[in-house]
A and B are shown apart, each in its own frame.
Chain A
């Protein structure tokens, strides 16, 4: 499996002008069919995404906002290669992801994507250490090298849990669990971190801690795309995408970045506006 062994974009980050987008979505649609076709009732088609086109550049920090049911999670899952679009084009680097096999998608998730979930999603029977190392099991040979161990220690240190490596998730607070999840999302050194309401279950003080951590990661060059309901959380990002009914309705710098030049905000700015779907790929 060598779908993307060389990922030409990743060396020059964060986005200097002229850099290629890391992700390009073109007219992405996703439909869910509820109820079996041919059943007693007409099958109901839910249009979760109706033609989304947007680019993300290396080093961006993007917040996706919108009402419940507007398709944010659906889009994030597609970005994370957890799901395939019904139609449209998804280029990750130069690779069209839409038609990859299940195994190839797994490989991409394992190498290039880091997930952070609202519910932390740690494995209960594993220790902090084992949870952080979990993605390594699914990478390459699956063996864990001394280097991996060193990296795990470093990450645990970074998220401030070096003292609690042997703890189980149920012995940790929500904030601590989420920090483990952040360390876990970083252990395979992904290109993109996807966070779906990462602070949704946390109080404001803990949320602030987590956001500070993401901020530092972004400053270190990680591309972060997060879904949130809260404006003050979105304000941490540099670019805010708003969605409604499965479409992007606005794509602009966040308040604090209003006056910054586009290459500071992120180079994708503007490409995701309605109408960009028509832009040539």
Chain B
């Protein structure tokens, strides 16, 4: 039997001398370790959530959106009074210019969004009408349930075709197959050529990109949209008529490889920004940058959560030190006996260190058990995503053992320094 193993076994015996006390001490470490693992798991979960959402936007994409200028920017331009027709946002010429000047772009997707009532007889809904091209499907990871998506030819021929999103289809055609039926959008009729499968909405990211719902969409060819709806949109708000003039709501650009994103983004910006400097009516979103940012934020978040949990681990360590100090005082006589029987100072130090490490080690193991077991339950029964990483387990267990050693060092040294005769006399 190895010497250390024997010491551990005998150490456990000594700890069993005060079962309640030892268990409570262990409990302190259990909570500390479990808290560290769980906090890091929540941090990791949040990080992965954010990264997944951003990845859904496409890490190789660069997105330009039209933004309605703020009241300030408007009044500046017109000298105090908002203009009657608000002209803003991306232009077709922006789109052409980008394609002409940026060679690394492999695909480009122009989008025009309008809110309109879509009707099929008695059934109607306020839908987002999206004028776009065939690439929209792939860019937004949509899949077709029935029929087909828009084709390049639909756009070329200004077809009055539309594709309905899942919920739109269900609302307008509760009982029938929508394919080849016609729906009324605005003042024109469109033939339904396809229906997309339901797709979850994306979350808003960093304030620059609103949350997107896809299931209440209607897709029509961009050219059709351009001629049918024009660029001027009238809306009545608070009793007064307002007119807005926009050409494109969004341009999504794609590069071949993720490494090209940081190089391409500034070039695109250079092609667009000078033409919108004044109105500040466009906004560039680079999911890749957001991803990097999210990773940094996640690291900070994990660090903060981990540190908070680490404090409980330190408190656990203080608990150990406290108990070991009491133990050492209580077992003074035992220390004297051991010294009389030939124990060196370092034997005594080692004995008490082993006891504390056993305490913190057991606490660490139970803590790891709880820390690994609970996060999946959290994920299952709440909205919070928690992901336990092996690193967090190793880290927290290592720290708990380290805390044990640090907490044990002082009491153990104190025990070792006792004078053997004094210790033997101790009652």
Query: What is the distance, in angstroms, from A196's C-beta to the closest C-beta of chain B?
Result: 10
Q: Which of B6-14, B224-232, B290-298, B371-379 contacts A (4 or more CB under 8 A)?
A: B6-14
Q: Kindly state the separation between the CA atoms of A122 and B336 in the bound complex, as whole angstroms.
A: 11
Once A106-B342, A110-B341, A144-B6 are accepted as A-B contacts, the answer to whether A123 and B1 lie under 8 Å apart by CB is no
Q: Report whether A80 and B344 are in contact in the complex, using a CB–CB cutoff of 8 Å.
A: no
* Tally of B interface residues using CB under 8 Å: 27
Give CA–CA (A110, B421) in the complex, Å. 16
B3 an interface residue at 8 Å Cβ cutoff? Answer: yes
* Minimum CB–CB distance for B241 against chain A, Å: 91
* B345 on interface, CB distance cutoff 8 Å: yes
Q: Does B424 belong to the interface (CB within 8 Å)?
A: yes
B103 within 8 A of A: no
Chain B residues contacting A77 (CB-CB under 8 Å) are: 421
Q: Does A94 contact B (CB under 8 A)?
A: no
| A143 interface residue per 8 A CB criterion | yes
The A-B contact count (CB < 8 A) is 82
The answer on a CB contact under 8 Å between B342 and A109 is yes
Of B340, B346, B347, which is in contact with the most chain A CB atoms at under 10 Å from its CB? B340
Give 1 or 0 for each of A86-110: 1 = CB within 8 Å of chain B CB: 0000000000000000110011011
CB <8 Å contact, B347 and A137: yes
For A135, the closest partner residue in chain B by CB is B341
- CA A144 – CA B2 in complex, angstroms? 8
- Report how far A108 CA is from B83 CA in the complex, Å: 102
Question: Are A82 and B340 closer than 8 Å at their CB atoms?
Answer: yes
Q: Given that A77-B421, A102-B344, A135-B342 are contacting pairs, would A121 and B337 also be in contact in the complex, using a CB cutoff of 8 Å?
A: yes
Asked if A80 meets B17 with Cβ closer than 8 Å, knowing A102-B345, A141-B3, A143-B3, the reply is no
User: Contact at B6–A124, with CB atoms within 8 Å?
Assistant: no
Contact of A126 among B3, B7, B13 (CB under 8 A): B13
Residue on B nearest A187 in the bound complex, by CB: B341
Q: Which of A26-68 contact B (CB under 8 A)?
A: none
Q: Is B94 an interface residue (CB 8 A)?
A: no
A126 touches B345 (CB 8 A): no
Q: Which residues of B contact A103 (CB under 8 A)?
A: 344-346
CB of A125 closer than 8 Å to a CB of B: yes
A138 and B342 contact, Cβ closer than 8 Å, known pairs A83-B421, A117-B424, A123-B337: yes
Residue B334, interface by CB 8 Å: yes
Task: Give, as a whole number of angstroms, the nearest-CB distance from A2 to chain B.
Answer: 15
CA distance A107 to B13 in the complex (A): 26
With a cutoff of 8 Å between Cβ atoms, the chain B residues found around residue A191 in the complex are none
Q: Is the CB of B421 within 8 A of A109?
A: no
Of chain B, the residue at the smallest CB distance from A181 is B337
A82:B339 contact, CB within 8 angstroms: yes
Q: Which of A109, A111, A123, A144 has the most CB of B within 10 A?
A: A123
B68 within 8 A of A: no
Rounded to whole Å, the gap between the CB of A190 and the closest CB of chain B is 10
Q: How far is the CA of A123 from the CA of B335 in the complex (A)?
A: 10
Expressed in whole angstroms, the Cα–Cα distance for A111 and B344 within the complex equals 12
Which residues 134-171 of A sit at the B interface, judged by CB distance below 8 A?
A: 134-135, 137-139, 141-144
Contact sample, A vs B, 18 pairs, CB 8 Å cutoff: A77-B421, A82-B340, A83-B420, A102-B344, A109-B341, A109-B342, A115-B341, A117-B337, A121-B336, A122-B337, A123-B338, A130-B10, A138-B338, A138-B341, A138-B347, A143-B1, A143-B3, A188-B342
